[in-house]
Amino acid sequence: MHPRVIFVGGVSRSGTTLLHRLLGQLPDVVSLGEVCNLWGTGLRNGDLCTCGDLIASCVFWKEIGDRAFGGWDAVDLQEMRRLRGSIDRIRFLPALLQGKRSGAIQTTAAAYASYYTKIYTAALEVSGAQVVVDSSKRAPLACCLGMYADVDLKLVHIVRDSRGVAYSCTKNVLRVDSVRGATLGTASPADTSLNWIVQNLALEILSRKGVSTRMLTYERLIEDPVGVLREVISFAGLSVDESAMRFLSDDHAVLDAGHSIGGNPMRAQTGSVSLRLDDAWRTHLPRTDRLLVSALTYPLLRRYSRS
């Protein structure tokens, strides 16, 4: 039986962390965070799980590694990073989206995706959940999973106003999972705009290729979190009792600690967390940058704003 997976796709700083945290509060759902980070900083640099333990020694993740691979030590991280560099890059999107079932790109995509399939399967076994959530975001990975993996995939494509993403990407934020004081990194408004266009378009095309997809906006998620979460629950085919939604209201969510990978500060917050629209870009993003991002992303921005 193929593991049931909700993949949260989109551009960095678009609300993917918030959505994965909300989904992770639901019964029969296990939310893993950004699984793609395992192969880079996660295992190699000794990053932290949100429980506070190193990923490699966290009881939850250790058992996943044991079941999936016979232990994390059995994973050839150098080979995994080679695979990732050979397929999980923007430049490979055209070849991935062609959907061919033979050839070097497709063979690499299937090999790369097989690692994730093993992790998802093991996570469901360890947690006893029915559905796993991966908020890795990346469009190339979504293509690998949607077209070349043995998973029952539901893609939730979340979009945020490009100007909000651009402003957020100018801020250098400390990663909550790093023991070395690493940051999330920054990008120029122009680079962010191009990435916003390419990744969102790729996820749209993937939905037209037959991958079951639900598109939503960060702004609407903040405006109506309860209603949007219900839509995602229905889309994913989850059976959730109304009492299981009591953690969420129109302006806050009560979040438990979990076992999540990724460095966004919101990933580690617990207790009552305020839900409010982050639109600081309206006053803090310089006018020239705001005009540049608006011009570069206008066609998609206009269409998404109606969603």
pLDDT digits (tens, 9 = 90+) for 83-96: 999 999 999 999 99
pLDDT at 306 (0 to 100): 67
Which two three-digit tokens encode residue 104? 């070097």
pLDDT at 307 (0 to 100): 64
- Mean pLDDT taken over the chain: 93
- Tell me: the pLDDT tens digits for 6-63? 999 999 999 999 999 999 999 999 999 999 999 877 888 778 899 999 998 999 999 9
Parallel, antiparallel, or unpaired: how do β-strands 252-255 and 271-274 relate?
antiparallel
- Residue 121 carries which side chain, given as an amino acid letter? T
DSSP bridge partners of 178: none
Query: Which residues in 78-105 are b (16+ Cβ under 10 Å) and which e?
Result: eebeebbeebbeeebbebbbeeeeeeeb
Secondary structure class of 216 (helix, strand, coil): strand
pTM score, whole prediction = 0.96
Structural domains in the chain?
4-304 (3.40.50.300)
Query: Which residues in 22-55 are b (16+ Cβ under 10 Å) and which e?
Result: bbbbbeebbbbbbbbbbbebbbeeebbbbbeebb
pLDDT at 41 (0 to 100): 75
Q: Which residues of the chain have pLDDT under 70?
A: 306-307
pLDDT at 174 (0 to 100): 82
